[in-house]
Amino acid sequence: MPKHLVSINDLSKASIEKIFDLADKIDEKLQKKEPIDLCKDKIMATMFYEPSTRTRMSFESAMYRLGGKVISSADTKSTSSAAKGESLIDTIKVIQHYADLVILRHFNDGSAKLAAENSLVPIISGGDGSHEHPTQTLCDLYTLRREKGKIKGLNIALCGDLRYGRTVHSLVYGLAKFGATIFTVAPDDFALPEHVERRLKLAYNTEVKKFKKFDEHLSATDVLFMKNLKKSKGAKEELISENLFQPIPIEYFDAIYVTRIQMERIEGTKSRHESLMSYLVNKELLEKAKNDTIVLHPLPRRSELSYDIDKDKRAAYFKQAAYGVPVRMALIAIMLGATDDNIKMNIEKSDDHFLEDKCSNHNCITQEEENVQHKFDKVEGADNTYRCYYCDLEKIVKV
């Protein structure tokens, strides 16, 4: 059975730490310009059905820095047989004979898991629809570890479009694994999907603290005063349960993770423009932040992250993109068995509940691909609720 990485949930905290330790060693060698030939004679295929700069280019750079080769398909949707209607499964069943490892970016949620199920060689997801983007999460977590020294106990604000941005859907599980405290700062329209929240609770026993906007006029002290916030561990939960305190002071956070606004969903209505402004991260906002707070963004950015903070030493988003190379080098080397690190990296097994209906997510790969069984897993602690094995969307089945 090959290793695959289609969800951050496939990796234990210990496994992630092993990847990061190797990335540290590799980065040291990169800095010294020492050659790293761990994957000589190996071929990686990049199959990108959607545009990409960072993910494809950093994976290809990583493979070359490891001494390997790359067959590249930057626009698989229109330049491969997908243009003639070939199914994803068929494409994978062919490509597995041409490459030792496949990096897949695909527009359908759950596509990476379907590909992995059908592949003899390792599949790494480079993003599947609005679902997950596990290697981005590895870069995000690695940046936190490098820049803050640890992840456990950090107060992390996630802001922007948390509904459609797939990077956050992977990141929250990663943060939960490492014991960070997760705050979301987003208008209701762009809140984290419910099924993600539920999974955080059930699988990681973690609750997200939800806010609508930052407030640079409030200081953390105000909050302490108002809510007696840090009095005890239990007190933190009040913040949400009472739901009285909607803006949150920027001063409160160790890291602010901003995500791209999907402009196409925002333009047109005034109220949405106002939503947009509520989580704008700029110089003015940062003035109230701590000296060692870092700002992250998976990039590309639009107006949600102002250029006026680029030279601020707390702006860590270009470093975050740069770490993509050592992190992905470590990941590739481990997945191709080129190191002694024996990391468990398997897709969660399904309970194999076969429901009559398809998944209700219109963007799920099971809607697109003809020959797929509609597998679901029973969600623990929720009656009659099943989770799509591919895209993770939950479904309540009438009895």
Catalytic positions are 54-55, 84, 105, 133
Question: Residue 389 in 3-state DSSP?
Answer: coil
Residue whose CB is less far from its own copies, 370 or 383: 370
Residue whose CB is less far from its own copies, 62 or 158: 62
The CB-of-174 to its own copies minimum distance in angstroms stands at 21
Residue 56 tokens, joined = 């494809």
Residue whose CB is less far from its own copies, 30 or 240: 30
The CB-of-371 to its own copies minimum distance in angstroms stands at 4
Residue whose CB is less far from its own copies, 225 or 318: 318
Q: Are 170 and 142 in contact (CB under 8 A)?
A: no
Give Cβ neighbours of residue 169 (< 8 Å, ≥ 6 apart): 130, 131, 132, 133, 192, 193, 196
Residue 259 CB burial class (10 angstroms; 0-12, 13-18, ≥19): buried
Binding site for its own copies (CB under 8 A): 33, 35, 41, 43, 45, 48, 51-54, 57-58, 60-61, 64-65, 69-75, 78-86, 90-91, 93-95, 97-99, 260, 263, 299-302, 307, 318, 321-322, 324-325, 370-371
**Which of 41, 30, 38 is CA-nearest to residue 326?**
30
Q: How far apart are CA 230 and CA 218, in angstroms?
A: 16
The CB-of-301 to its own copies minimum distance in angstroms stands at 7
CA distances from 37 to 157, 163, 228, 329 (A): 39, 40, 55, 11
The CB-of-24 to its own copies minimum distance in angstroms stands at 17
The CB-of-265 to its own copies minimum distance in angstroms stands at 13
Q: How far apart are CA 291 and CA 281, in angstroms?
A: 15
DSSP calls for 148-192 = HS--TT-EEEEES-TTT-HHHHHHHHHHHHHTPEEEEE--GGGPP
Element (H, E) at 330: helix 324-335
The CB-of-135 to its own copies minimum distance in angstroms stands at 14
Residue whose CB is less far from its own copies, 124 or 180: 124
Residue whose CB is less far from its own copies, 90 or 207: 90
Q: Are 157 and 171 in contact (CB under 8 A)?
A: no
Residue whose CB is less far from its own copies, 11 or 102: 102
Backbone torsions φ then ψ of 286, nearest 5 degrees: -65, -20
Question: Residue 69 in 3-state DSSP?
Answer: strand
Backbone torsions φ then ψ of 30, nearest 5 degrees: -60, -45
Report strand pairing: 394-396 vs 385-388: antiparallel
The CB-of-175 to its own copies minimum distance in angstroms stands at 23
Element (H, E) at 354: strand 353-354
